[in-house]
Chain A
Amino acid sequence: MELSKMTALEIGSKIKSKELGVVEVTKAALENIEKTDKAYNAFVTICADKALAQAEKVQKGIDDGTLTSPLAGVPMAVKDNMCTEGILTTCASKILTGFKPTYSSTAVRKLEEAGAVILGKLNMDEFAMGSTTETSVHGATINPWGENRAPGGSSGGSAAAVAADEAYYTLGSDTGGSIRQPAAFCGVTGLKPTYGAVSRYGLIAYASSLDQIGPIGKNVEDIAEVLSVISGHDPKDSTSVKQDSLKITLTNNIKGKKIGLPKDYFGEGLNPEVKASVLAAAKKLEELGAIVEEFEMPELQYAIPAYYIIACAEASSNLSRFDGVKYGYAAPEFNDLTDLYYKSRSEGFGIEVKRRIMIGAFVLSSGYYDAYYKKALQVKAIIKQSFDRAFEKYDCILSPTAPTTALKIGENLSDPLKMYLGDIYTVSVNLAGLPSMVVPCGFDSQGLPIGLQLTGKAFSENEIMNVGYAFQKSTDYHTKKPVLKAGKEA
């Protein structure tokens, strides 16, 4: 089998058994990116020299027995909103032009300690604000499944890189569906862990109370292994939960598991092909021994407005520090301090980011706080309660990930509100802080992937990943590959 098509654990085990060398694997991965990524623009920074140096170091560690992780030596890549020491970290924004952090995010550091080899940084919507990876200052990423298709977002680069076999696994971040929706659109497997399961230290914040780092990979086994490395308490993140890393035991047995389908997620607006595919998946799980039931959760209709109020409010504050003084872009000409602020920010941020900052400033401003921000936090509480009630009955909630399959490039940019509404099935999970994963569950008539979303109660990653694993074991959607543009000759 072609090297690049293997899974992370397959490569890891061949490295461990000395069938393959880390440098060899890394070189192959870099060559592959060189060959294919012109077509997809998944990478915004490729750090070949650093990766090769790291590969040599990791090989030594494996040889002398200090590196024992199944992921040791496996090349991977990181969304560009996670700080990587000495490697450009731009959040796909002009305002972070040239920013090289002097520290690494905890998730990245933990992976490096386990022997990961970082190939580079991945494209995204600017500051993770978007659902298409088109708002990037580095240009749009192209979905490997369709020339004119967006990969979804905001972790579009992270999903596309895995779909295009450019990296064995990647890290993404999910504030309102930013791991799950692109994973679905790119036909790969992705997990948004429970809020607090993975440290946010070093993740450049979009909305601090919703952001969570998670893995994207080729199958459930791979991302379970990544999760076990990146999760666990971090004293540098006050919201990181005081517990050991999450160890997942995959059993391929879901007999008697109770799975709920929220009716409200299968109504108007859902593409019939997506609906059919997701319902077929539910049927499959039933065949595998799960008990599948429909239930109602009408509060979910309030999730999008609540989500956008909270996310924009936090973003307006989080992004205030980008002002042309300490790092990143500074306007070249200015009259005074205020002018430096206005120009650096107005020139440095893209249109969607400015829009969300302004909405956020508005909902927090004097006279509007109670009507918007406080109200949204109350709605958040209501949504959390309705999930709590649902999980008294069900082990897992099954739903579509997005109302459609991957959109055409440019299709959604003209109408921001329409774009926001596309997040309908994903944002409620972030409001409630729950774990949620996406596994491939089919294709539409145009051959575009469809993803199944499985959501569990807090810290039930093991539960939902077992459901996903059982589904994956009895289907082959996750093994399907797009016909790669540059890879056709192979």
Chain B
Amino acid sequence: MEFLTTLGLEVHTELSTQTKIFCSCTTEFGGDPNTHVCEVCTGMPGTLPVLNEQVVEYAIRVGLATNCEITKYNKFDRKNYFYPDLPKAYQVSQLYAPICQNGHIDIEVGGVTKSIRIKEIHMEEDAGKLIHDPWDDCTLVDYNRCGVPLLEIVSEPDFCNGEEVIAYLTKLKSILQYTDVSDCKMEQGSLRADVNLSVRPVGTDELGTRTEMKNINSFKAIARAIEGERKRQIELIGEGKRVVQETRRWDDNKGSSFAMRSKENAQDYRYFPEPDLVPIEISDEWIERVRGELPELPDTKKKRYLANYGLPEYDVDIITGSKFLVKIFEEALEACGEAKEVSNWIMGEVLRLATDTSTDIEDINFTFANLGKLILLVKNNVINRGTAKEVFEKMFKENIEPEQYIKENGLEMVNDDGAVREVVVSVLQSNPNSVAEFKEGNDKVTRFLMGQCMKQLKGKADPGTVNVVIAEELAKM
């Protein structure tokens, strides 16, 4: 029997506001346990929440960037459940009136564009962290993360396979980064995904029973979790068993998932409107202001790059996929006007050095305009490409200023025709055998002679010029 897979995603992203959603504690990652907390975010009796306006602003931004309708009249609701990472024993979230609804994100897989519908985006608070203490065999509770603002972005079950899921996540991540609402650091938990998955035999319409896998925190793990869960469900059906609707945890090390909730966690969250917060009314003016301030988004940028710069689609995908590469591209382009060259440098040296030095793309920190300058220096024959690569490595690692560095280290090309000719003549004179071979018809020796000349010129001459002069001098002999 062949099976079709249906997938839906719930993505949680931590917003990069300065303060938490309902109190003025910092959202900074890390810190000693319980040092970024106050009475409000630890749920002390009698304390009350006050909403951070920036959270609403960011939510609207993401909603508009994902083609959602913005809900004019917003409310918060309480989701009630007991767990030590949730100090009030309820999470303030949005059930009845989420801030964004009915959006979509377009993804491209195998050259085909597909639209993934977004059901809703809602605002909520993050929970704390539980640390296992092996000495006492107990759990320690750290509330630093408690109250960090989250957006939960819920897709419709529009995915058929892991590849589509990854394409969606990649696109979503770049939108969140473009709009400056989240740093999307999966390893720090600021982007997390829950995957809903069901399978059904080909030829049937009714969706199978779905399971949910929680908080998977890397793209690779998501791909593995999807494949693992798909197989598990198909095997169950194959053995004549039923898939149980449940929440499962994917253990990426073991490569398998296991059921998480017990009967003590009847999933009856008793949502009701949060009485401690008043409704949020979002005016058309507010929405339009945010729309006006939205940066150019990945899809639009890609179209513009393709139309204006004549770059290969692959390169454009890579560059526009990361707001940080875009920044490098646009700042370097501004300095030199050579789109093709800038793109080549990014696809080549920038990414190579990032990999070689294990630098995250967002942490690349040379002055990007200097890449433009470097490109102009090559174009204007001040240095040759080989020198440029050396200089760039210095730029990448130490953020040196290329012109000054080239001057200080005497790396300019020898463009004086006379000086080149002098070296060529002297090389030919000291290599009579090679000259003789050339006369006998062996063209290949010119390469050797070329090497000798460049060596004496310390690589600082334009190889084309050197070639021409060698040819001229050989002809004279």
Contacts and interface: CB of A to CB of B under 8 A. Distances in A.
- Are A and B a genuine interacting pair, yes or no? yes
Interface of A: 82-83, 89, 91, 96, 99, 101-103, 105, 200-205, 207-209, 235-239, 313-314, 316-317, 320-323, 325-327, 337-338, 341, 361, 364-366, 369, 373, 377
B44 A101 contact: yes
Nearest to A200: B48
A313 B272 contact: yes
Nearest to B143: A326
Contacts of B49: 238
Contact of A321 (B45, B264, B276, B278): B45
A456 to B, nearest CB: 23
Contacts of B44: 101-103, 326-327
Interface stretch (B83-91, B370-378, B460-468): B83-91
Contact of B48 (A101, A238, A366): A238
B270 A321 contact: no
Contacts of A102: 39, 44
22 contacts: A200-B46, A201-B46, A201-B47, A203-B46, A205-B46, A207-B275, A236-B50, A237-B48, A239-B48, A239-B277, A317-B80, A317-B270, A317-B272, A320-B82, A320-B89, A321-B87, A326-B43, A365-B268, A365-B270, A369-B270, A369-B271, A373-B272
B278 A238 contact: yes
Contact of A99 (B45, B82, B88): B45
B260 interface: no
A269 to B, nearest CB: 30
A310 to B, nearest CB: 9
Contacts of B17: none
Most chain A C-beta atoms within 10 Å of own C-beta, residue among B45, B84, B271: B45
A364 B272 contact: yes
Contacts of B46: 82-83, 101, 105, 200-205
A202 B42 contact: no
A88 to B, nearest CB: 12
A43 to B, nearest CB: 20
B141 interface: yes
A341 B43 CA distance: 16
Interface in B26-66: 39, 42-51
A104 to B, nearest CB: 9
Contacts of A236: 47-48, 50
B139 to A, nearest CB: 8
A320 B87 CA distance: 9
Interface of B: 39, 42-51, 78, 80, 82, 84, 87-90, 139, 141, 264, 268, 270-273, 275-278
A317 B269 CA distance: 10
Given A96-B45, A365-B270, 11 more contacts: A82-B46, A83-B45, A101-B44, A201-B48, A202-B46, A205-B46, A238-B48, A320-B80, A323-B89, A364-B80, A377-B273
Contacts of A313: 272
Contacts of A205: 45-46, 276
A369 B268 CA distance: 11
Given A200-B48, A236-B50, A239-B276, A103 B43 contact: no
Contact of A364 (B39, B270, B278): B270
Given A83-B46, A238-B48, A369 B87 contact: no
Contacts of B88: 320-321
A338 B264 contact: yes
Most chain A C-beta atoms within 10 Å of own C-beta, residue among B87, B88, B264, B275: B275
B80 A323 contact: no
Given A235-B50, A317-B270, A364-B272, A204 B45 contact: yes
A341 B276 contact: no
A313 B39 CA distance: 24
Given A103-B39, A238-B277, A325 B270 contact: no
Contacts of B264: 338
B34 to A, nearest CB: 11
The 7 closest A-B pairs by CB, nearest first: A320-B89, A364-B270, A209-B275, A208-B275, A202-B46, A204-B45, A366-B268
A237 B51 CA distance: 10
Contact of B45 (A101, A207, A338): A101
Contacts of A82: 46
Contacts of B272: 313-314, 317, 364, 369, 373
Contacts of A325: 84, 87, 141
Contacts of B82: 320, 323, 341
Most chain B C-beta atoms within 10 Å of own C-beta, residue among A102, A320, A325: A320
A366 B51 CA distance: 28
Contacts of B273: 377
Contacts of B139: 337
Nearest to A367: B268
A377 B272 CA distance: 11
Contacts of A323: 82, 89
A235 B273 CA distance: 21
B89 A316 contact: no
A372 to B, nearest CB: 11
A335 to B, nearest CB: 13
A200 B47 CA distance: 8
Contacts of B90: 317, 320
B289 to A, nearest CB: 23
B93 to A, nearest CB: 13
Contact of A361 (B78, B270, B277, B278): B270
Contacts of B78: 317
Nearest to A366: B268
A487 to B, nearest CB: 34
A202 B264 CA distance: 32
Contacts of A239: 48, 275-278
Contacts of B80: 316-317, 320, 364
B75 to A, nearest CB: 12
B43 A321 contact: yes
A46 B278 CA distance: 37
A316 B270 CA distance: 10
Contacts of A373: 272
A207 B78 CA distance: 14
Nearest to A368: B270
B91 to A, nearest CB: 11
Contacts of B89: 317, 320-321, 323
Nearest to A102: B39
Contacts of A321: 43, 45, 87-89
A101 B40 CA distance: 12
B48 A314 contact: no
A326 B270 contact: no
B421 to A, nearest CB: 81
B262 to A, nearest CB: 9
A242 B90 CA distance: 27
A208 B276 contact: yes
Contacts of A338: 264
A322 B50 CA distance: 22
A238 B276 contact: yes
Contacts of A365: 268, 270
A89 B47 CA distance: 14
B280 to A, nearest CB: 11
Nearest to B51: A238
Contacts of A320: 80, 82, 88-90
Contacts of B276: 205, 208, 238-239
A202 B51 CA distance: 17
Contacts of A203: 46
Contacts of A326: 42-44, 87
A467 B82 CA distance: 48
Nearest to B276: A208
B355 to A, nearest CB: 45
B45 A238 contact: no
A238 B90 CA distance: 18
A197 to B, nearest CB: 15
A103 B78 CA distance: 25
B278 A327 contact: no
A107 to B, nearest CB: 11
